[in-house]
A and B are shown apart, each in its own frame.
Chain A
């Protein structure tokens, strides 16, 4: 339920409301219809009773129903409409031809009334009954009680009600479906700004745009403008940070450069060697700390960046710097590979590893990256001498330098290690298929 989208929630809620409303309508109309039908039936049966009474004649002290009249259904055996006239002792005076289907006579002891339909099962058929007792004064002044009964099979009503039910059900279903379709369109229309915002935020996270753009309804404006402000302040802070770091670097490094320059001009003594070593130490610390502060603290609001363009930048730069060495640097990044973090961090990772590879390789460096098992994997291969297994651990330890003559191995790598730590990734040194070393970095795509 927590992960349901707004669209799912709205669709579910409105479907439930629609279902409940239509069910109520369905049952209410059905019950109203069946009450109305029943009372119509009652009226027509009452009319039938009156019609019978109207044609009843006195025939020598006996009640007589002539063959005239009459409703055709009373003639027809299977019509379901039956009529009886009984004496109050239960003996038959008259019965409609349609009633000959029944062997028994209606039970006289039952209460028949014109005001209320009586229901009963009559020889296996569900029947409605209406009847009235009247006292007939014969010509010989004799008074006799007769019961006029009209019956109708219940199925005539239930089939009409069923038909009505089906009709109502069909129309309700059609209108339900039409309403749902209309609702889906309306929902899409109403949710469009949210979808646009979602897409924009996704683009920002992918690093493809710098702010959430587009026109939004007033309910969303506070949200989108807050996100933009946040992004802006993050970017501003980042650039201010970079600027002040740059200034700090400049003001620290310039005096160091002067000291180093002056020391180089001095003739070489034990003292100048000591001083030079100390200057280098300070330089290393400053460089390490400055570079470390440039890298982000792991994941930020802008969560991803495309790998290909960043690697291309590094490859172009290093091709220039190592043109002399005649190295081939191959950029083999799988299409659409994304790095789950800041582009500056990716530059540091690729730049440091590739530059180290360029220093140690004979002729070729291959940078490749792909997504594998939920991880971002970066590989830097070279065809140099490789790194012996016993030295690998030491290389990965911060600040350790294997070969003092090629500077920067330790520093660059320690920046790499710091970034990997921030992203909870892993680094390993292996044997490259090219014959040299392979640096493999694995960073989880999702936290």
Chain B
């Protein structure tokens, strides 16, 4: 999952980037509205955290322009002002949630996860497909109630697949969503992750949960996706 952070205050921005990274998110960041808009429109972003008080085009203008361009990525606004007039203004412009500064990162994270789940159509933080249960809060995976140990990247792959359950996901899309922009990408590495993931969640090859469509990419077995 790739998160875009648009915040002009360097310390807060860096803090957010490193906090999100430590929780397994890929990030892009911008220090002003123009750059933020460019990144949001040009890169595969899953969610944006946008400060309202930005130099240049404001956070609200950024969101309005995103929606004008028909870009529907979920957006959480960070705002120093938290009167209802400001909140209503932000949410009616197209933001999906707001957080008043100063905020607790854990709460921001919980709201980000909730928004991502909501966008994927799940209501609870526990995503269950077949006998595999994914906890987006704890970032853990269970098979038939037994914990499976996954590496951070393996988790990112399965989470992205679970959050896009009805979609065929190309290797390049998967790469873009789990790696940062400046990361050296190699699609062979992705094949290795998927292979290891299959072994861990389906050691006996009974489920065949992750399918490969030749020349197109990966998808979850439609038999298990309602």
Contact = CB atoms under 8 A, between A and B. Distances in A.
Instruction: Please determine whether chains A and B interact with each other in the same assembly.
Output: yes
Interface of A: 242, 245-246, 249-250, 252-254, 256-262, 264-265, 279, 283, 287, 290-291, 294, 313-314, 316-317, 320-321, 323-324, 326, 344, 347-348, 350-352
Contact of B118 (A260, A283, A323): A323
Given A246-B53, A261-B12, A324-B114, A352 B102 contact: no
Given A265-B15, A313-B92, A344-B83, 12 more contacts: A242-B85, A264-B105, A264-B106, A265-B19, A287-B82, A290-B83, A294-B85, A314-B84, A316-B91, A326-B123, A347-B85, A351-B88
9 contacts: A246-B81, A249-B80, A262-B15, A265-B19, A287-B82, A294-B85, A321-B91, A324-B118, A324-B123
B103 A344 contact: no
A250 B103 CA distance: 13
Given A254-B9, A320-B97, A321-B97, A260 B103 contact: yes
B118 A246 contact: no
Nearest to B10: A258
B46 to A, nearest CB: 17
A294 B83 CA distance: 8
A326 B19 CA distance: 29
Contacts of A260: 102-104
Interface string B85-107: 11110011001111011111110
Contacts of B85: 242, 294, 344, 347
B11 interface: yes
Contact of B102 (A245, A257, A294, A350): A257
Which among A258, A324, A347 has the greatest number of chain B C-beta atoms within 10 A?
A: A324
A253 B101 CA distance: 6
B101 A313 contact: no
A350 B88 CA distance: 12
Interface of B: 9, 11-12, 15-16, 18-19, 53, 80-88, 91-92, 95-98, 100-106, 114, 117-118, 123
Contacts of A317: 87-88, 91-92
B105 A261 contact: yes
Which among A249, A290, A350 has the greatest number of chain B C-beta atoms within 10 A?
A: A249
Contacts of A279: 102
Contacts of A290: 81, 83
A339 to B, nearest CB: 14
B80 A253 contact: yes
Given A254-B9, A258-B12, A321-B97, A314 B82 contact: no
Top 9 nearest A-B pairs (CB, nearest first) are A351-B84, A257-B102, A253-B80, A317-B91, A261-B15, A253-B101, A250-B80, A260-B102, A347-B84
Which among B16, B88, B92, B96 has the greatest number of chain A C-beta atoms within 10 A?
A: B88
B81 A348 contact: no
Nearest to B122: A324
A290 B85 CA distance: 13
Contacts of A253: 80, 100-102
A327 to B, nearest CB: 12
Which among B9, B85, B106 has the greatest number of chain A C-beta atoms within 10 A?
A: B85
Nearest to B95: A320
A294 B9 CA distance: 25
Nearest to A291: B83
Contacts of A246: 53, 80-81, 86
B149 to A, nearest CB: 25
Nearest to A249: B80
B95 to A, nearest CB: 8
A254 B80 contact: yes
A245 B84 contact: no
B194 to A, nearest CB: 30
Contact of A258 (B9, B19, B88, B96): B9
Contacts of B12: 254, 257-258, 261
A364 B121 CA distance: 21
Contacts of A258: 9, 11-12, 15
Which among B11, B80, B104, B118 has the greatest number of chain A C-beta atoms within 10 A?
A: B80
B84 A352 contact: yes
Contacts of B82: 287, 291
Contacts of A321: 91, 97-98
